[in-house]
């Protein structure tokens, strides 16, 4: 492991569970905007918005699960930068 991200213990402890991380990742999706988008043009056009919305929600759920897993495994300040540099090797 690279010494770049290793730090000395400061007495801080990880207090989030996997469920807490899942809730944080789930609510990071802006539900109000999503609701406005769903009902804005749904009844005017027949483009199958409900089907595409359900398909998109299925894929977003995978993103939420991965994000919650990363929060639970690597709880560091810097968030996405630390995860991406460790996973992608940057």
Render each residue's pLDDT in the chain as its tens digit; 90 residues: 556 556 565 665 667 777 877 777 777 776 666 666 666 666 666 667 777 778 888 888 888 888 787 777 776 666 677 767 777 776
| 74: CB partners within 8 A, 6+ apart | 82, 83, 86
Which DSSP symbol is given to 76?
Answer: -
Q: Please tell me whether residue 75 adopts helix, strand or coil conformation.
A: coil
pTM (2 decimals)? Answer: 0.46
pLDDT at 85: 75
State the Cα–Cα distance between residues 90 and 72, nearest whole angstrom. Answer: 21
Q: What angle do CA 73, 74, 79 make, to 5 degrees?
A: 135
């Amino acid at each position: 492991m690279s010494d770049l991200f290793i730090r000395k213990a400061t007495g801080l402890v990880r207090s989030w569970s996997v469920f807490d991380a899942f809730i944080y990742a789930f609510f990071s999706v802006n539900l109000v905007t999503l609701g406005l988008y769903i009902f804005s043009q749904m009844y005017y056009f027949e483009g199958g918005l409900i089907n595409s919305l359900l398909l998109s929600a299925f894929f977003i759920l995978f993103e939420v699960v991965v994000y919650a897993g990363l929060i639970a495994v690597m709880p560091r300040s810097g968030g996405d930068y630390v995860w991406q540099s460790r996973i992608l090797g940057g």
